Amino acid sequence: MHRNELVLSGLIGTQDALRFTPGGIPSFSFQLKHQSTQPEAEHSVQVAFDLWVLALGPVAQQLAQLESGSCITLKGYLIRKHRSSPQLVLRAIQFKMFDGE
């Protein structure tokens, strides 16, 4: 019940401006555009979706410096966008850049 880990790579899409919470924590949100091929019932399937990512803390500042279109792998967990929202977002904890193949 307590496991919530997600590793996902993709391109940085739409970016919001870097903001700060009233308590002074940097906050940065952007869309991650994911595309891959994954196994499905002994075949393979094309996967493509966009997922909103919200990073808070120093990692937000680092991510905010990347340009739109950069390729990254993110590690984090899923969390509701906000209290009354059914939408899930990826809360990024770490990221790594890679060259788009």
Partner 1 sequence: MPTIQVALDVPVARLFDYDAPQATEQDVGCRVLVPFGTRLKTGILWAIATEPGCDPAQLRPIQALWRDVPALSATDLALLKFCSAYYHYPLGTTVLHALPPGLRRTKGWTPPRRTGASVLAQDSDNPPLPLALNTEQLQALRGILQVTDRFRCHLLHGITGSGKTAVYLALIQALLAQGKSVLVLVPEINLTPQLEQHFQQHLPQTTLLSLHSGLGEKERVTRWLAAQEGSARVILGTRLAVFCPMPQLGLIVVDEEHETSYKQQEGLRYSARDVAIMRAQQGQIPIVLGSATPSLETWLNAQRGRYHQHSLTQRAIAGATLPRMRLIDTRRTALQQSLSTPLLEALQTQLSQGAQSLVFINRRGYAPLLRCQQCGWSCPCTHCSTRMVVHLRTNQMRCHHCGRSRPIPVHCPDCGSVQLDTLGDGTQKVEDQLRWHFPHARILRLDSDTLSSPTQWREARAAIQQRTVDILVGTQMLAKGHDFPHLTLVAALGGDQALYSTDFRAAERLFSQLMQVAGRAGRSHLAGEVLIQTEFPEHPLFDFLMRQDYDGFAQYELNQRRLSGFPPYMHQAILRAHSKRPERLETFMAQAHAKALALAPKPPLTLFDPVNALLHRRAGDYRMQLLLQSPRRQNLQEFLGLWEKTLTASTLRSVHWVLDVDPVEL
Is residue 79 near partner 1 by the rule CB under 8 A? yes
* Range list of β-strands (E), the chain: 6-15, 19-20, 26-40, 43-56, 71-80, 88-97
Using CB under 8 A as the binding rule, the residues of this chain from 33 to 62 that contact partner 1 are: 54, 56-57
Q: Which amino acid is at 6?
A: L
| Rg of the chain (C-alpha set) | 14
Q: How far apart are CA 51 and CA 31, in angstroms?
A: 6
Q: How far is the CB of 100 from partner 1 (least distance, A)?
A: 31
Is residue 65 involved in binding partner 1 (CB under 8 A)? no
Residue from 2, 3, 43, 82 touching partner 1 (CB under 8 A): that is 82
Residue span binding partner 1 (CB under 8 A) among the ranges 1-9, 38-46, 61-69, 80-88: 80-88
Residues in the interface with partner 1 (CB under 8 A) total 13
Tell which one of 9, 15, 27, 73 touches partner 1 (CB under 8 A).
27
> Helix or strand or coil: residue 62?
helix
Torsion, Cα 88 42 101 15, to 10 degrees, reads: -10
Judged by beta carbon, residue 80 or residue 96, the one nearer partner 1 is 80
